[in-house]
């Protein structure tokens, strides 16, 4: 099982809508609104690292209200 945490900066006021969209994506297992430098943390889990990367690159990063992301790939759990 491959996993990554994606820290997301969202457009101001769009966090609630973005959370709903993220929860609907395949391979996104958990989503949290957080305080600090980032607005949202999403946990991405899939059977391969290629699927994790695909979810982040082509699904999460292309959502309308995502301003920027930082990805932390889990190497040991």
Query: Which residues are 23's β-sheet partners?
Result: none
pTM of the model: 0.95
| 70 neighbors 39 (Cβ within 8 angstroms) | no
pLDDT tens per residue, range 23-70: 999 999 999 999 999 999 999 999 999 999 999 999 999 999 999 999
Domain ranges of the chain: 2-73
Query: Which residues are 43's β-sheet partners?
Result: 5, 30
CATH of the structural domain 2-73, one choice from 1.10.260.40, 3.30.70.920, 3.40.50.360, 3.20.20.70: 3.30.70.920
């Amino acid at each position: 099982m491959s996993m990554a945490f994606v820290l997301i900066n969202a457009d101001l006021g769009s966090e609630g809508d973005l959370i709903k969209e993220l929860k609907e994506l395949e391979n996104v297992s958990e989503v949290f609104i957080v305080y600090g430098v980032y607005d949202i943390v999403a946990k991405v889990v899939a059977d391969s690292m290629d699927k994790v990367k695909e979810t982040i690159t082509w699904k999460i990063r292309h959502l309308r209200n995502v301003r920027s992301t930082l990805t932390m790939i889990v190497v040991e759990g």
